Amino acid sequence: MNKKQNPRLKNIVIRVNDKEHKEIEKKADNLGLTISDYGRQLMLKGSVLSVQKSESLGESTGVDRRTIIGLANNLNQLTRYANERRELPQIESLLKDIETIISKW
């Protein structure tokens, strides 16, 4: 189901002090999540999963989440192009680059 079919209309309010709020905000930010997403995952699953890797890996490879998303978008556009034209453009080198980056990610 998508958000339109199942909108989140209910609120859960918890009270925290300044120190707790900063700690929760920092943990959510380190995982690339909003406080709401972080809290929701923690309450529903008992743990929080994130696809974002440590900052040191991103710094050493020069890869961040935005780069991965951009590469995925480019690959999607090339796939659409190939399907529309019924031809496959020369994208093998791009795919190898993406594979290398993802393996380091």
* Digit-coded pLDDT (tens) for 48-86: 666 554 444 445 556 677 777 777 777 778 777 777 776
Enter the pTM of the model.
0.44
Which residue in this structure is represented by tokens 């440590």? 54
Q: Which amino acid is at 43?
A: M
Backbone angles phi, psi at 2, to 5 degrees: -95, 180
71: which residues sit within 8 A by CB, 6+ positions away? 98, 101
The predicted structure's pLDDT at residue 59: 53
Encoding tokens for residue 73?
Answer: 């978008």
pLDDT over 60 (residue 12): yes
